[in-house]
Amino acid sequence: MLENIVNMEKNPIGEEKFQSDCKAALDKSGVLLLPDFLNADSLTSIANDGRKNQHLAYYTSSEHNVYLAPSDNTFVSDHARNRAVISSKGCITTDQIPTDSVLHDLYNSKSFKDFLCAVLDEVNLYEYADPLSSINLHYASEGQELGWHFDNSSFAITLLIQKPEAGGKFEYRKNARNADLNDMNYELVSRVLDNEEPVETLNMNAGDLVLFRGRNSMHRVTPTVGSTTRMLVVLAYNTEAGVSLSESARQTFYGRLE
């Protein structure tokens, strides 16, 4: 029962008015934060599983540009199009999440997917066809971070499971480009990279659900500070059935294909 996972008193996801209010908030700001989305027992269970299985995580550290694209030699190396930032994290995959975890129940719940469809204005949401990519638990220990970037997908769904002592802040600059019009807005992106442009910070706590439209909003997670690992669940869906994450992406992010 979803009522055993989600704090329905604060987040009545089956109610039409709550869905419409959430959609309006997401449409307005590009981000929706639902505090205390998980009930206390579910949060504790997921966090305990995360700590027990952290040894399974595949760790990566890589340089990339904000656009997550190969360098373009028509621009100099320190141009906003090519400037390198660093991302480093660990990750366990869907098949490494314990089979009795409430994360599987939440991810597969029709009620939860109906709520997401209503808020995201999608007809249907489907799991990934490969066994790795639907539910990921990310670990960011001290010094690890997610560099500035734009998402390739139109939306992201995350649950913060464990907040670090300090750092690990989600920062973003809304409407920093218009990918549909191929307007990359290099001048603004450069100002963000140089800390010359104001950005917003999303204050997330353990148990919070976040829906974020990151295709045109530049965002990052600052380095974790302290001995407490930041743990974040990514619930990944497709708008079409039978889609797998590309083999190159699986090899890069997970170190394996299956």
- pTM of the complete model: 0.95
What pLDDT does 84 receive?
96
The whole domain housing 146 covers 2-254
Sequence-ordered alpha helix ranges (H) in 60-213? 102-108, 110-120, 186-193
What pLDDT does 226 receive?
98
pLDDT at residue 130 tops 90: yes
Mean pLDDT of 42-59: 98
What pLDDT does 248 receive?
87
- What does pLDDT average to over the chain? 97
Supply 201's token pair. 């910070």
- Tens digits of residue pLDDT in 173-182: 999 999 999 9
Are the CB atoms for 102 and 183 separated by under 8 Å? no
Question: What is each CA distance from 35 to 7, 45, 156, 174, 217, in whole angstroms?
Answer: 9, 18, 16, 21, 21
What pLDDT does 203 receive?
95
For helices 110-120 and 16-29, what crossing angle results, to 10°? 50
Number of domain units in the chain: 1
What pLDDT does 1 receive?
83
Mean pLDDT of 83-95: 97
CA dist 130 and 105 (Å) reads 18
pLDDT at residue 72 tops 90: yes
Mean pLDDT of 48-68: 96
Q: Tokens 């699986």, residue?
A: 250
What pLDDT does 57 receive?
98
pLDDT at residue 187 tops 90: yes
CATH number at residue 55: 2.60.120.620
pLDDT at residue 97 tops 90: yes
Strands 166-167 and 224-225: antiparallel
Mean pLDDT of 81-98: 97
What pLDDT does 78 receive?
95
- Tens digits of residue pLDDT in 197-229: 999 999 999 999 999 999 999 999 999 999 999
What percent of the chain clears pLDDT 90, i.e. is strictly above it? 97
